[in-house]
Copies of this chain bind each other. A is one copy, B any other.
Amino acid sequence: MHIHWMDRFADRTARIQPSSIREILKLTQNSNIISFAGGLPSPEYFPNQQIMRATRRALEEHGVEALQYGVSDGFLPLREMLVRHMLRYGIVCTPENILITTGSQQALDLIGRVLINPGDSVIVEEPTYLGALSAWNAYGAEYVTVPSDDEGMRVDAVEHALRTTHPKFIYALPNFQNPSGTTLSNKRRLELVRLADQYEVPIIEDDPYGQLRYEGDHISSLFSIEAYNACLESDGVNFPMARNVIYLSTFSKTLCPGLRVGWVVAHHDVINQMVTAKQGTDLHTSTFAQVVAYETARGGFLDRHIRQLRRVYIERRNKMLAAMEAYFPPGVVWTKPEGGLFIWVTLPHGLDSHELLKKAIEDEVAFVPGSDFYPCGGGENTMRLNFSNPTLDEIEVGVKRLAGVIEAAMQRRQMPA
């Protein structure tokens, strides 16, 4: 007898759906389609030469460590370097507070594994990063959504959610949020940390883009705000470490995604539990990738490279904003991100961006329909555009094509253009 696998799969698989973004990526690979869909960095600025030299040093100086099994918490010199790197962004911790993960996606998975019981609710922004939803769906999470506006997550709505539900944690992307591109204001950050403290609910602070700010001043992370508060309350002897915030970041947007090296900063109780959980999932992140990441980033290269990326990406963002201004019909509005990779577009009510995508693909331009970022439905008239991956010329041509698709759809629905 041959097994019918479909009848055998575990119940949780019903909640694990293929990522629509990855489906669109497949569609746009090896085609003439100009894609604003992925969250892909610019491949022209991958530091190939630096990685080549780093690999030579990795194999010559750390040959055995780079190729042998390693500890589950991660390559110690890399964690030590990250302590120094994050200090520049106001995050104070020790190597014992850091876990190296196989990209930030694994951090999200491990957080689900150690924190979420089936039926637990999680407070998320609307829209929010769908990779987090796909990680936590597997653990049976339910979502309580709060709206966001130009200053990010509506913290007054968070307070309402905290009062009326018993969430396991709050998920926040304070900097240049994926997908909306908006940044949580300092005032709201202070309030969010205060609320989390008051209601004793942890915050997951997902910050893959924080280092890619193109204008305006750096705003303190939720992690450092909580640490600062703890410092004020402490006896002045203990190290002022955030306890309630779990902070995530990654090299995927600053060096390259292919290494799959991200990290978590948290209280050591959380790190210990995540390390144990990680042993069962992949033993440890590729030591080869970790040592190469370390050898690539160290000695000031990471900071220099981030400065270069900022110069490249601000041009692309400006180009996309200018093209949208020039070509998009009236009635379409969008965010003006101060950093990161994404612009969020809201179309007139009644337009469905999933329908629009089919026409757009015919006209050789792609984006991600916004409703995919709404865990409880909604957002049909929204879309996410990426400006880091396409070149300036592609941005110009692609936005023009997309404007044509939007205009045609508005005319079909007899909307005033």
A binding-site residues for B, Cβ under 8 Å: 1-3, 5-6, 8-13, 16-19, 22, 25-26, 38, 40-41, 43, 46, 48, 51-52, 55-56, 59, 63-72, 102-103, 105-106, 109, 113-117, 120, 131, 134-135, 137-139, 168, 197-198, 200, 202, 230, 243-244, 252, 256-260, 267, 269-270, 273, 275-277, 279-289, 292
Contacts and interface: CB of A to CB of B under 8 A. Distances in A.
B17 A276 contact: yes
7 contacts: A6-B269, A13-B276, A22-B72, A38-B69, A109-B282, A258-B288, A288-B288
A103 B66 CA distance: 15
A352 to B, nearest CB: 25
A243 B109 contact: no
A346 to B, nearest CB: 27
A202 to B, nearest CB: 6
Interface secondary structure of A, over-half rule: helix
A289 B285 CA distance: 11
Q: How many copies are assembled? A: 2
A97 to B, nearest CB: 13
Nearest to A268: B5
**Most B CB atoms within 10 A — which of A12, A106, A279?**
A279
Given A10-B114, A52-B59, A197-B1, A138 B288 contact: no
Contacts of A200: 1, 3
A13 B51 contact: no
Given A40-B69, A105-B282, A260-B285, 18 more contacts: A2-B244, A6-B269, A13-B276, A16-B276, A19-B279, A22-B72, A25-B71, A26-B71, A38-B69, A46-B68, A51-B67, A68-B257, A102-B282, A259-B288, A260-B282, A260-B283, A260-B284, A288-B292
A2 B238 CA distance: 14
A13 B277 contact: yes
B63 A48 contact: yes
A282 B10 contact: no
Contacts of A3: 200, 202, 243-244
A379 to B, nearest CB: 21
Contact of A68 (B40, B64, B71, B287): B40
A363 B71 CA distance: 24
Given A2-B243, A2-B244, A10-B117, A280 B48 contact: no
Given A2-B244, A67-B256, A273-B5, A138 B280 contact: yes
A116 B11 CA distance: 8
Contact of A138 (B63, B117, B277): B277
